[in-house]
Amino acid sequence: MKRLWLLFAQTTTILLAAYFVVATLKPQWLGNNPNVLGGGTVALIEASPELSAATPAGSFRGAAQKASAAVVSINTSKAARKNPNANDPWFRFFYGDQGNEPQVGLGSGVIVSASGYILTNNHVVEGADEIEVILNDSRTTRAKVIGTDPDTDLAILKIELDKLPVIVLGNSDTVQVGDQVLAIGNPFGVGQTVTSGIVSALGRNQLGINTFENFIQTDAAINPGNSGGALVDTNGNLLGINTAIYSRSGGSMGIGFAIPMSTAKQVLEGIVKDGQITRGWIGVEPNDLSPELAETFEVKTRQGVIITGVLQNGPAAQAGIRPGDVIVKIADASVADVAQLLSAVASLKPGVATRFSVERKNQPLELDVTPGVRPKPRVADR
């Protein structure tokens, strides 16, 4: 009996030892829960690579990857302006030595051509002595300014690199309020960032940002450093160039503005082809037709733009336009406000007469106006 008991004890000990070894090293052999085993060991179950690579529903991954490669960061440097009184001992006594460190800035840009043309904002590169472009693949190069258009706050740069990624140009004229969009740029210099939102409004103007305003408004987060970056649709096609925000804090408050691609494309083609943008100009001071102005000039019509001033010997004066006239149409296109008037006149070809429909003292009048070339705007410090 004693021998049987000893044999049973030895057999049990061997089986328990074997169970412990198997449970520790090969738990799946026992069919136990593999997540938690003796000693607190955790076995993780990972998804297959095929499932991990699948795009989640509602993801903008494809659009972001497609467009991000062509969005660049722009670093600018401008020599410090020396105060004319810097050498005056009394000036140095009261104000100390003024620093001569260069001013630096940052922004974004979009590669729109395989030959190296980059669209960005004029205020990003205005007055810069050196412009450095950093691509999304970490390549760095210097850029030169091909041309600028302060009236729309756009600038064209050029870089000399091979195998450049190029963004696909979208059609901003088909954009509707509520469409989903992505904003891509380098906010605050933290590195390329993608934010999402919708188109909040179209045709925003009279904001006092540019001379010609026709902004796409979006709630996609745009911050300092995003200027010149891309506003793209959910297919990764370029719809506009991010240019400004409305903010009381300096950061995004959900109101950002982008220059539509229809405007940017005209500027790009004009600068690359002719080296400048040529716009029509007639030399008038227009105002929206408010009830006060209508009463002052004894105007009964409520549609059109009233002219409150005419430049002497300018194109409008030579054509017979006078203060108090109301411009109703330009080349059969109705004019409802000052923004439409400016855009319509700017699109006219200088030197080619165009029919203007005018109301003078409530009487219709047809005048042929030959526009001149719009003078270049004065460069203002930003």
Residues forming the active site: 123, 153, 227
| Cα 43 to Cα 36: distance, rounded to the nearest angstrom | 7
DSSP annotation of 175 reads: -
- Diameter over CA atoms, the chain: 133
Q: Which residues contact 338 (CB under 8 A, 6 or more apart)?
A: 206, 286, 287, 288, 305
> Which residues are within 8 A (CB) of 30 and not within 5 positions of it... i.e. 6 or more apart?
19, 22, 23
- Going from the C-alpha of 13 to that of each of 6, 22, 225, 256, the distances in angstroms are 11, 14, 72, 75
**Secondary structure in 3-state letters for 315-358:** HHHHHCCCCCCEEEEECCEECCCHHHHHHHHHCCCCCCCEEEEE
CA distance 117 to 220: 26
